[in-house]
Amino acid sequence: MRKSILLTAVLSTLAMANIAYAEEAPAEAAPAAAPAEPESNWTATSNIGFVSDYYTRGISQTWHKPAVQGGFDIAHSSGFFAGVWGSNVTPNTFPDATVELDLYGGYTGSIPAVEGLGYTVGVIGYFYPGGSWKKYDGLTADQGKKSGGRWDTYEANFGLSYKWLSAKASVTLGDWFGAEKATGWDGGTSGTTYLELNAAYPLPWGGLTLIGHIGHLNVAGKLQASGFPTANGAPGTYATNPDYTDYKVGLSKSFSIAKSEGWNAGIYYVGADDKNNYWDNGYGGTSFSRSINGTTETKNLADGRFVVTVGRTF
């Protein structure tokens, strides 16, 4: 997600040469130097990338398939920032939606009392155009078919950073991805929290950076499992608690290609400790899209696996 003092140095050198030469040659009027353009307080960057599997918070968003992603960011010298980012997602998890679009903004700054200590505050909205619980055939009329709870979710967040360590807390400002009474939960899920600790430690060789992450999701509600059959037909056996802890560890590297700067790549091992909700017989691991050949598709979306990423920032 950013001019040069050479001209000034050259002009100064030429001016000294003119003074030394003045005794031997007639003086000539030197052309006035053009005023330097004021440096902008704004910067803008864009990015595009490819991932072998789009994992976020330990859960695959693409049914373990690749994704193409990209975004645009602006930042002001005051600390204000805003941006937009998008990726393809699976309609198996987000009925009738194939795109996730994130809009975010906030403010970042430093804490003078401690050198290297910074903070950020912001908001983010996750949008899934065209998708909602209303498109899920597994819900009856009184379980969301009428209200059609949308997947769109909004969060406020606050983070601290110190050198190569950072931590952030996020809280939903409404229901968590459409989880509410009408969609099979014991009530609203506003106030759902996600806590995370991240590390990006620069290694002393190869230009590599060691990446580490651990996070914990605490959903402000539980699933009413009695209203839903499982993938094998047994009634009410889904796990009711969707909370879990996720992890990520790997290496990243920035590089150039034929003098083209801004490239980066990484390989990471990601997953979550969820063994009930997002596994292949869990509620979250069952396709919410329409049945395929009369059967329901299932997949373990939280299992640990390697993910490869390649991207470029402009």
19 or 148, which is more confident: 148
Look at the block and give the residue holding tokens 């009329």: 141
39-48, 148-157, 302-311: range with lowest mean pLDDT = 148-157
Q: Which residues pair with 249 in a beta bridge?
A: 212, 269
Distance CA 61, CA 160 (A): 27
Please compute Rg for the chain using Cα positions.
26
- Bridge partner list, 309: 51, 266
| 66-81 pLDDT, tens digit each | 999 999 999 999 999 9
Q: Alpha-carbon distance 72 to 85, whole Å? A: 7
- Expressed in percent and rounded to 5, the helix, strand and coil fractions of the chain are 10, 45, 45
Q: Is the predicted pLDDT of residue 4 greater than 80, yes or no?
A: no
**190, 174 in Cβ contact below 8 A?**
yes
CB 220 within 8 A of CB 189: yes
- Confidence at residue 145, expressed as pLDDT on a 0 to 100 scale: 52
Quote the CA–CA distance of 1 and 72 in Å, as a whole number: 8
More confident call, 29 vs 130: 130
- Go through 257-271 and write b for each residue having 16 or more CB atoms within 10 A of its CB, e for each that does not: eeeeeeebbbebebb
Answer yes or no: is pLDDT of 7 > 60.
Answer: no
With a cut of 60, say whether residue 307 has pLDDT above it: yes
Distance CA 185, CA 189 (A): 8
Average pLDDT of the chain to the nearest whole number: 83
Give residue 223's pLDDT band: very low, low, confident or very high (50, 70, 90): confident
Predicted confidence at residue 283, as pLDDT, reads 80
Tell me what percent of the residues of the chain surpass a pLDDT of 70.
77
pLDDT attached to residue 170: 98
pLDDT score, position 235: 46
Pick from 61, 291, 95, 286: nearest CA to 178: 95
Confidence at 148, pLDDT banded by 50, 70, 90: low
pLDDT at 32: 57
Would you state the structure tokens that stand for residue 69, as one six-digit string? 């992603």
Please check the confidence at residue 138 and state whether its pLDDT lies above 90. no
How many CA atoms does the CB half-sphere of 10 hold within 13 Å? 5
- Residue 150's pLDDT is 81
Asked if 131 and 61 count as a contact pair (C-beta separation under 8 A), the reply is: no
Is the separation of the CB atoms in 18 and 29 below 8 Å?
Answer: no
pLDDT for residue 143 = 52
Looking up tokens 């998708």, which residue turns up? 131
Q: Please give the helix or strand (H or E) that residue 182 lies within, else none.
A: none
Structure-block tokens of residue 192 = 């759902």
Which residue from 137, 56, 59 is spatially nearest to 96, judged by alpha carbons? Answer: 137
pLDDT given at position 36:
64
- Cβ neighbors of 50 (< 8 A, separation 6 or more) are 66, 67, 68, 69, 309, 310, 311
- Which pLDDT does position 231 carry in this prediction? 45
Residue 247 has pLDDT above 90, yes or no: yes
The Cα–Cα gap between 213 and 268 comes to 10
pTM for the structure as a whole: 0.83
Which tens digit of pLDDT belongs to each residue from 186-209? 888 999 999 999 999 999 999 999
Please report, rounded to a whole number, the percentage of residues in the chain having pLDDT higher than 90: 60
- Which single residue is written with the structure tokens 């997953």? 271
Residue-wise pLDDT for 19-50, tens only, equals: 333 333 344 445 555 566 678 899 999 999 99
Phi, psi of 18 (to 5 degrees): -65, -40
In DSSP notation, 243-290 reads -EEEEEEEEEEEEEETTEEEEEEEEEEEEE--SSSSSTTSSTTB--SP
